[in-house]
Amino acid sequence: MALSSMKKSQKDFIISKVIDLAIQIQQIPAPTFHEQQRAAFVHQCFMGEGLHPEFDSAGNVLACISGLGIALPVVVVAHLDTVFPENADLTISRQPDRLCGPGIGDNALGVAGLFGLMWRLRQEARQLPGDLWLVADVCEEGLGDLRGMRQVVQRFGDKVSAYIIIEGMALGQVYHRALGISRYRIDVRTPGGHSWTNFGQPSAIHELSALVVQLTNLPLSDNPRATLNVGKISGGTSVNTIANHAQIELDLRSEDQTTLNNLVDLVLSCVAAANKKSVAVTAELIGRRPSGELPADHPLVQNAMESLQNQRIQVHHKAGSTDANIPLSLGLPAVGVGISTGAGAHTPEEYILTAPVSQGLEALFKLVKKTFVKN
């Protein structure tokens, strides 16, 4: 067999292993705050590869591939958690060109990509100039508030060449701008009562509904862009009860921190004004993802772009909410990249295309090799 054919065969074998591993990972429930079973599986897989993985205090799994020590480490991170509950139907289906199943792209494929990177590096049989840390972290989704990544950055700080974040279905996107996010739980309490006997008493649901209408009518900036979303609502006792309690969870975002702060001020003013006799309205901050940005001409961003373009992948500069928010907010070099393309993220119909996985892994491999910065 010709050398080029042998290398292609080896790469195809790696792609097959990555896809099979992504399915195994996807089949393990991992809602935010409950990633332990999936983390244990990843830890075991690292051990099976001859590494010496560890758990940190947040529950992240970290494994190190030792380098020559002449360059600062590169830290590659993929989040373990999903948005789906413990009892979600995780049935997966394989079609000729895709894998379909909740969480397969966000982020089972991303976690499997850590191993794909390791296997691809081993093909080279060359020691890297610095240590490569492979990290499967927790609490990236929802109200996890990037807890796992905060712990990772606290550990490594600025003593790194870069942080590279893997999102399974973001191939072609280079995340180097972090969306600022503030999340609030808005709570309304009233005395409540019987729907007939106490008619006329304020209802927590009615009051909260009026507040939601007011919030959704707030003027939102187009440039810099800002968004507002009521993602969850709950409350009430029964159909014939005037509700004495209701609450929403509110997500506020912007590309610009000042714009986000102004939107928060508007929301909190509306909350304060909603208080009146027998109606108590409060807002509790339940999540904050700081904004940040790495200039488009930064060497790390340029390397990420070139690595994708070399694979004939069209590149898009993106602002997003990922684990990269934490290092970017501190002025540390970080980018988010993908392994494949797909659609339906955060829905039971989520899917990834399998053919682009080869390009995505090769681009990640090239990016990591280019990223090491000499001590």
pLDDT digits (tens, 9 = 90+) for 361-370: 999 999 999 9
Average pLDDT over residues 216-229: 96
List the one residue out of 88, 83, 78, 74 whose CA is nearest residue 27.
88
CB 172 within 8 A of CB 270: no
Residue 3 pLDDT more than 60? no
Task: Write the pLDDT tens digit of every residue in 134-180.
Answer: 999 999 999 999 999 999 999 999 999 999 999 999 999 999 999 99
Kindly report the average pLDDT of the chain as a whole number: 95
The total of other beta-carbon atoms located within 10 Å of residue 26's CB is 26
Burial label for 290, CB within 10 Å (0-12, 13-18, 19+), is middle
E-strand ranges in the chain read 54-55, 61-65, 74-79, 93-95, 98-100, 132-137, 162-167, 173-178, 180-189, 193-194, 226-235, 241-242, 245-254, 280-289, 292-293, 316-320, 334-338, 342-343, 351-353
Pairwise CA distance, residues 221 & 254, whole Å: 9
CA distances, 8 to each of 98, 118, 120, 121 (Å): 21, 17, 12, 15
CB 183 within 8 A of CB 287: yes
Average pLDDT over residues 191-210: 97
- pTM of this structure: 0.92
Confidence class for position 111, pLDDT limits 50, 70, 90: very high
Pairing of strands 162-167, 61-65: unpaired
Task: Write the pLDDT tens digit of every residue in 300-342.
Answer: 999 999 999 999 999 998 889 999 999 999 999 999 999 999 9
Q: In CATH, which of 3.40.630.10, 2.120.10.30, 3.30.70.980, 3.40.50.620 is domain 3-178+291-371?
A: 3.40.630.10
The HSE-up count of residue 324 (CA atoms within 13 Å, CB side) is 29
Tell me how long the chain is.
Answer: 375
Residue 8 pLDDT more than 80? no
CB 373 within 8 A of CB 71: yes
Confidence class for position 125, pLDDT limits 50, 70, 90: confident
The torsion angles phi and psi of 168, rounded to 5 degrees, stand at: -55, -40
The HSE-up count of residue 132 (CA atoms within 13 Å, CB side) is 25
Q: List CB contacts of 241: < 8 A, sequence separation 6 or more.
A: 192, 193, 194, 195
Confidence class for position 7, pLDDT limits 50, 70, 90: low
Confidence class for position 92, pLDDT limits 50, 70, 90: very high
Confidence class for position 285, pLDDT limits 50, 70, 90: very high
Average pLDDT over residues 243-262: 96
Average pLDDT over residues 180-206: 97
pLDDT at 4: 52
**Beta-ladder partners of 248:** 186, 233
Domain residue spans of the chain: 3-178+291-371, 180-289
The total of other beta-carbon atoms located within 10 Å of residue 261's CB is 13
What does 244-264 look like in DSSP terms, one character per residue? SEEEEEEEEEESSHHHHHHHH
What does 282-321 look like in DSSP terms, one character per residue? EEEEEEEE--EE--TTSHHHHHHHHHHHTTT---EEEEE-
**Beta-ladder partners of 342:** 352
Task: Write the pLDDT tens digit of every residue in 10-60.
Answer: 888 899 999 999 999 999 999 999 999 999 999 999 999 999 999 999 999
Domain 180-289 is found in CATH 3.30.70.360? yes
Q: What percent of the chain has pLDDT over 90?
A: 93
Average pLDDT over residues 209-225: 96
Residue 132 pLDDT more than 50? yes
CB 1 within 8 A of CB 9: yes
Q: List CB contacts of 142: < 8 A, sequence separation 6 or more.
A: 32, 83, 287
Confidence class for position 203, pLDDT limits 50, 70, 90: very high
pLDDT at 6: 47
Residue 108 pLDDT more than 60? yes
Residue 2 pLDDT more than 70? no
Q: What percent of the chain has pLDDT over 70?
A: 98
